[in-house]
Structure 1
Amino acid sequence: MPKKLSNVLTPLAVKNAKPGRHADGGGLHLLVKESGARSWVYRFMLNGKSRDIGLGAAGPDGISLSQARDARDALRLKVKAGIDPLEERQRVAAEALSAAQAAQVAGITFKAVAETYIGANEGSWRNDKHRQQWKNTLATYVYPVIGELPVAEVGTAHVLQILEPIWKDKAETASRVRGRMETILDAAKARGYREGENPARWRGHIAQILPARSRLTRGHHKAMHYEAIPAFIGDLHERKAVAALALEFAILTAARTGEVIGAKWDEVDLDKAIWTIPASRMKAGREHRVPLSLRAVAILESAKALRKEWLFPATSGGKLSGMAMTMLLRRMKVDATVHGFRSGFRDWASECTGYAHEVAEMALAHTIGNKVERAYRRGDLFEKRRRLMEDWAIYCTNPRAIDRSVIPIRQEIFA
């Protein structure tokens, strides 16, 4: 039986060793590379398998021969006890990394994650108003409660603390706040900042605690019945204000408030009676062509005398406020919303005309059908929509004949 090696190497041998593996005994080896780099390795047998574990660099700036032997002896005791020193080292390193990551995550607040998310995604959002709403709702309702809280610690109790005070009186705002918190917490989980279920999720969680919005509100914009719209527009003609023209234009085009107040003259071709709304300002994210009726063109011809960038400018400059038409309705004591006139148009088209369903839906810039149907439908039924919108304008101005003479707004309004 060959004699076991024991303390074969000397400090001088370590210094002068050639490239290769040099045994010292007891499983300790000196490894020398062609580059001259030297390191210590301990080879052990456990469960019938031979394994190597590095001890560190050898030489004047590394581990000396005596230190390497001490390290070998300590590891030999662990191996005799059935402990795999290589697995132990890996476990300790993993625990240290986990502790470091936990310490780092503990310092990441909900507000920091939210700001990172907004910064990464706001460029893809449709308009400035949407971006501002994200920032304002978080700053108003969320940050005061959990803004400086580690995102990993946000729980259901925190979410309810934010939502419950506004859930009944500000149902729509509360619903948006909940959705935004859910999105940010999902982003935090995706980045490894938190684990477990999302405490702001609706289905199967918050829905079991708070009532659905539909139980708190009607869930629809208040609409004026189409039979009352002609008389209302007649009253609207008595009001010489930009908001009155903008509201009538919105009714006649069945457009949304934001689409009307954000409209600029470079979107309009009066000669062809077409208003082209760019995709960036549309809810569906697609360009929308609006055929303008004779009355709608007359309104724009009147507004053009103001010589402003916007179709319907504010008195102080810039575009008309999003609340201008709403406030006009309130002053007129009308229990309806601007958006609700789109419902009036849709009901009229269904009940009083023979136009196809998709013609009216396209007039409202709604998405038509499923993906397959949309793939085969290349046109936008523009000429049919032109006839529909002209009929709608005639109906809205009834019993009067179509009157193309709109009383111009005097410049004094903007003084």
Structure 2
Amino acid sequence: MSALHKLSSAKVRTAPPGKYSDGGGLWLVKRADGGAQWVLRLTVHGRRREMGIGSLQAVTLKEARVAAEKWRAVVRDGKDPIKERDLQKRLAARGDHTLTSVAVEAFEARKAQLKGDGKAGRWFSPLELHVLPKIGKVPVEEVDQQDIKNTLAPIWHEKAETARKAMNRLNIVLGHAAAIGLNVDLQATTKAKALLGKTRHKPKNIPYMPWPEVPNFYASLEEYTPTQLALRLLILTVTRSYSIRFCHFDQIQGDVWTVPKANMKGQEGVATDFRVPLSREALSVIELAKPLARDGFLFPGERKGVISDAAMLSHLNRQKIEARPHGFRSSFKTWCDETTDIPEAIVETSLAHVVGNEVERSYRRTDFLERRRPLLARWADHVTGKNASEVIKIA
């Protein structure tokens, strides 16, 4: 090691811009703009490392020498001083790494992948309602399978889907904690599932309206309100309610509605925007909605934004109809199965379902737009009562 303590206080104070060694790898770097920094150069595991000790304004020559000796001792112990310092910072900030704070950080990191940047709250709500009130103040590094098991046990069987989502979110939060360098148990959720056991809950299918009843219901949608017009377009296009609610003028070109990828269900398996062929009836509904539009959205809410995700469901409830808006997709699917002879791939693509395995999808270069067009036109005829059901084929 080179001689130590080469610099004097006077030299440190009056030296012009340049680099000055104090020995033992400690350097003073003075810049032309008047700033100055202490830098420690070390060799760790055969690699040269540089770490800042602080600015000259904040750290005196004496303090820099003390700090340099501290980190040289760390190197003598065979450790990387920069990693060791980062670890100490994390430990010092451990109180800030509660499950709640890391969950919020994980949510912020994922917002861009969520519909509407997650403003609807659906991603975060399982944590907010069922997890964080119980163990949110626990340091994330201390969260284990027993904590998770005790937290989710009350809803594991009674609210199985909510519990599943909460478990999924917890797994993502723990993964985020690991990514920022915290020492967490990434197997905690898997272990918790083993402790909780298989859920006794049996999932229920979404209530739907039998396809022969759809024409009468469609005819009852006589009012030109955003909610009833949205229901009509939802039935005619068999798209999901989110896509309908955020339907915008810019998405419609001629008789094709292009639903942005971000407005589709999730993003897994959806590589591009989704094109929907519009029947004459669908186009007429869009024309009726145009005078009501606000900010380009066809189905605005009463005060701002678009109609809520509960608006169409509320209309069905007021009519004492058990079916749900999403159930009209099942109505269409059943109608296809029972009255048409259309290839399954075309029916499933009409519903924006992912068709085939990954290899098959990699070779398929069509969304069957032109083959879906007569199918949705025929569905529109059925919905509006223009024809009796009969078996049809699409080449």
TM exceeding 0.5: yes
Farther off after superposition, 125-134 or 373-382: 125-134
CA contact (8 A) 1:105 1:193 kept: no
TM-score, scaled relative to structure 1:
0.67
- 1:223 paired residue among 190, 208, 216: 208
Task: Tell me the CA shift for residue 101 of structure 1.
Answer: 6.7
Aligned residue number for residue 233 of structure 1: 218
Change (3 A) 1:93 1:396: closer
Aligned residue number for residue 129 of structure 2: 140
Task: Tell me the CA shift for residue 400 of structure 1.
Answer: 6.9
Aligned residue number for residue 279 of structure 1: 261
Change (3 A) 1:150 1:251: same
SS of the residue corresponding to residue 123 of structure 2 reads: helix
Distance 1:205 1:317 in 2: 43
- 2:247 paired residue among 256, 263, 286: 263
Give the greater-gyration-radius structure (CA): 1
Distance 2:194 2:88 in 1: 37
Task: Tell me the CA shift for residue 291 of structure 1.
Answer: 0.7
CA RMSD of aligned residues (A): 3.3
1:156 aligns with 2:145: yes
Distance 1:36 1:352 in 2: 87
Distance 1:273 1:354 in 2: 25
Distance 1:113 1:340 in 2: 37
Task: Tell me the CA shift for residue 217 of structure 1.
Answer: 4.1
Aligned residue number for residue 393 of structure 2: none
CA contact (8 A) 2:215 2:382 kept: yes
- 2:164 paired residue among 158, 163, 175: 175
Aligned residue number for residue 297 of structure 1: 283
Distance 2:214 2:133 in 1: 45
SS of the residue corresponding to residue 276 of structure 2 reads: strand
Task: Tell me the CA shift for residue 90 of structure 1.
Answer: 1.6
SS of the residue corresponding to residue 250 of structure 2 reads: helix
Distance 1:372 1:166 in 2: 39
Change (3 A) 1:239 1:98: closer
- Which residue identity is paired with 2:284? A
Task: Tell me the CA shift for residue 255 of structure 1.
Answer: 0.4
Task: Tell me the CA shift for residue 175 of structure 1.
Answer: 1.8
CA contact (8 A) 2:98 2:138 kept: yes
Task: Tell me the CA shift for residue 168 of structure 1.
Answer: 4.2
Distance 1:287 1:319 in 2: 21
Change (3 A) 1:274 1:155: same
Change (3 A) 1:257 1:88: closer
Distance 2:291 2:176 in 1: 50
Task: Tell me the CA shift for residue 285 of structure 1.
Answer: 5.1
Change (3 A) 1:191 1:384: same
Aligned pairs for 1:371-386 (under 5 A) are 371-386=358-373
Task: Tell me the CA shift for residue 343 of structure 1.
Answer: 1.4
Question: Which 5+ residue runs of structure 1 have no aligned equivalent?
Answer: 1-13, 16-34, 40-60, 63-85, 402-415
SS of the residue corresponding to residue 290 of structure 1 reads: strand
SS of the residue corresponding to residue 305 of structure 1 reads: helix
Task: Tell me the CA shift for residue 246 of structure 1.
Answer: 0.9
Task: Tell me the CA shift for residue 127 of structure 1.
Answer: 2.7
Question: Which 5+ residue runs of structure 2 have no aligned equivalent?
Answer: 5-19, 25-60, 63-72, 389-395
Distance 1:98 1:311 in 2: 52
Percent sequence identity over matched residues?
32
Aligned residue number for residue 342 of structure 2: 355
Distance 2:113 2:169 in 1: 16
Aligned pairs for 1:6-405 (under 5 A) are 90=77, 100=88, 103-104=91-92, 106-107=94-95, 108-129=97-118, 132-201=121-190, 205-212=192-199, 215-234=200-219, 236-269=220-253, 272-283=254-265, 284=270, 286-308=272-294, 309-398=296-385
- Which residue identity is paired with 1:338? P
Aligned pairs, how many?
Answer: 318
Change (3 A) 1:331 1:239: farther
Task: Tell me the CA shift for residue 38 of structure 1.
Answer: 7.1
Task: Tell me the CA shift for residue 190 of structure 1.
Answer: 3.9
Distance 1:322 1:274 in 2: 24
Distance 1:88 1:314 in 2: 64
Distance 1:297 1:88 in 2: 73
SS of the residue corresponding to residue 174 of structure 2 reads: helix
SS of the residue corresponding to residue 207 of structure 2 reads: coil
Change (3 A) 1:205 1:291: same
Distance 1:135 1:277 in 2: 25
SS of the residue corresponding to residue 154 of structure 2 reads: coil
